[in-house]
Structure 1
Amino acid sequence: MEAKNTMTLLGHIAELRKRLLRIAAVFIVSMAAGLFAAPHILTLLRTHSPLHVAWNVFSPWDGLRIYMSIAVVLSLLPTIPFGMYQIWRFVCQGLKPGEQKAAVRYIPFAASCFLVGVAFAYFVVFPMSLRFTAGINRQIGLVETYGVSQYFGFMFNIMIPLAIAFELPVIVMFLARIGILNPSILKGMRRYAYVVLVAVAALISPPDLVSHLMVAVPLIALYEISAWLTGWVHRKKQRAKEALEHAVTDGSYSAT
């Protein structure tokens, strides 16, 4: 029995190693493609920039740093979904069929929410913030000289928090699925959540009412969608529990 358990443990380790190697292989291939595509992406971003200004470098490493950063981001686009799928394939062996179906749905849903958040941040919030700051600079007579590292740092500081915020429905639905959250908890937290979301919107958007609303309203809508999804998951669990209790009462349920 001890030898069997040892072989089972070694088999799990070998399986995990195989899937990690697959993820690493996809990352390496994607990184090679990212290195090839990075100059074209940089040209595209510069051409469609909200402000047509020159990108300057203030350090010998700035160009290489941005080049590699773009390549890494491009390589992560296929690697993250593939990695999530490989991790799911590894852990699904210990899950029930119903749990497997529930878990696999989170992968495309999470990826879709992340991409929507990135698109909203890049096409709406980032141009709005950049034009606002540029307008302030011109009003006080400053010469706009943008460093490429600072430019992308400003862009990522806006995009990353919003992309993560758009994962809120996935996180809340998962927590509701495992029983940590329920509709009453979210309902009690609503007023505090609104304050936090408005504060976040104020931090990542220009300080005017229209900009605040353009960012705060989608964040609040995400919270309400999360609350609705939590209620849906909770009602579904309650119906399943009641059906099981009814089956046990009628004697039609038998444990295997």
Structure 2
Amino acid sequence: MSKSNNSEMSFLDHLEELRWHIVRSFAVVMILAVLAFIFKSFVFDTVIMGPSRPDFFTNRLFCLLASRLDMPALCINQDQLAFQNISMSGQFTMHIWVAFVAGAVVAFPYIFWEFWRFVRPALYENEIKHSRGAVFATSMLFSMGILFSYYLIAPLSVYFLGGYQVSPNVENIINFGSYVSTIASIVLAGGVMFELPVFIYFLSKAGLVSVPFLKKYRRHAIVVSFALAAVITPPDVISQIMVCLPLIVLYEVGIVIAKRVEKKRENEEVA
């Protein structure tokens, strides 16, 4: 079974093809970034500042649970944080940076689709058949990671870090750039971590990992999951567990995917 004729292009032709895929992806990112720059009120006041506001969905939900369970400690982020800008061009620079990041996040499905269009001609027909839905699955997992981190991990991180004090005499007046960087790193890290089943799929397709290998190092994966959770979340146990549990579940999903890949490979060898 032969590959597509596009795979017979020269090296320079491949570079030219890749260049146009990158150009189109960058163009879409820039268009979305311009839109995000224009609608700065929605991007900053609604999206970015959302986890710090008392009326944010997650904060209201936790407060509702606090009243139902008679556990006041569950009610989080009821005091609006104070932010400040300490640089002359700080807000303008932050506006540009956030607009570009927002454009890249929203354009992720298209970027991956362009990458898939570049790689697809080099695949065999059976590989293309088994990889159907890759763009949808990758985009869905990335979106789930973004939403999970934004609606759950980000509010908890804001509550812990924004309210933590070493002394009552030290007031928290948070640099706005620090707040935005924290939210962005948490949300983007969540989106990348939720791609774990996709990584395992491609590694198993390449023969770099196997089901026995994944099962053998399951305990090591759990330890790494806790380590990653400790890096991207504040140092409180609840947030780390909330991040670690989905990673463990995704790792188990990856084992199931690796089983299917190996089974298909065995069937093809027999055929």
If the length of structure 2 is used for normalisation, what is the TM-score? 0.77
Distance 1:238 1:40, change over 3 A: same
Counterpart mapping for 1:105-184 below 5 A: 105-137=133-165, 140-184=168-212
Q: Which amino acid aligns with 1:147?
A: N
Q: Quick one: which of 98, 105, 108 aligns to 2:126?
A: 98
Deviation at 1:14, TM superposition (A): 4.8
Which residue of structure 1 aligns with residue 49 of structure 2? 46
Q: Quick one: which of 239, 242, 265 aligns to 1:211?
A: 239
Q: Which amino acid aligns with 2:256?
A: W
Return the alpha-carbon distance in structure 2 between the equivalents of residues 27 and 206 of structure 1. Answer: 31
Structure 2: any 5+ residue segments left out of the alignment?
1-7, 54-76
Which residue of structure 1 aligns with residue 90 of structure 2? 62
Instruction: Provide Cα deviations, 1:123-168, integer angstroms capped at 9, x if missing partner.
Output: 1112112212233228644212111101112222322332221111
Which residue of structure 1 aligns with residue 266 of structure 2? 238
Return the alpha-carbon distance in structure 1 between the equivalents of residues 228 and 96 of structure 2. Answer: 30
Structure 1 residues 115-124 or 28-37, which shifts more?
28-37
Distance 1:233 1:18, change over 3 A: same
Return the alpha-carbon distance in structure 2 between the equivalents of residues 77 and 47 of structure 1. Answer: 17
Q: Which amino acid aligns with 2:29?
A: F
Which residue of structure 1 aligns with residue 36 of structure 2? 34
* Structure with a larger share of its residues in helix: 1
Q: Which amino acid aligns with 2:127?
A: E
Distance 1:25 1:206, change over 3 A: closer
Return the alpha-carbon distance in structure 2 between the equivalents of residues 228 and 164 of structure 1. Answer: 20
Return the alpha-carbon distance in structure 2 between the equivalents of residues 153 and 16 of structure 1. Answer: 31
Distance 1:188 1:84, change over 3 A: same
Structure 1: any 5+ residue segments left out of the alignment?
1-6, 245-256
If the length of structure 1 is used for normalisation, what is the TM-score? 0.81
Instruction: Provide Cα deviations, 1:22-41, integer angstroms capped at 9, x if missing partner.
Output: 33332332232222123321
Structure 1 residues 134-143 or 210-219, which shifts more?
134-143
Structure 1 residues 49-58 or 115-124, which shifts more?
49-58
Q: How many residues matched?
A: 237
Aligned to 1:130, the other structure's residue is in SS state helix
Return the alpha-carbon distance in structure 2 between the equivalents of residues 36 and 171 of structure 1. Answer: 35
Aligned to 2:172, the other structure's residue is in SS state coil
Larger Rg: 1
C-alpha contact (below 8 Å) 1:202/1:212 kept by paired residues: yes
Q: Which amino acid aligns with 2:213?
A: I
Return the alpha-carbon distance in structure 2 between the equivalents of residues 206 and 14 of structure 1. Answer: 44
C-alpha contact (below 8 Å) 1:37/1:71 kept by paired residues: no
**What is the RMSD of the two structures over their aligned residues, measured on CA atoms?**
2.5
C-alpha contact (below 8 Å) 1:31/1:72 kept by paired residues: yes
Query: 2:91 aligned with 1:89, yes or no?
Result: no
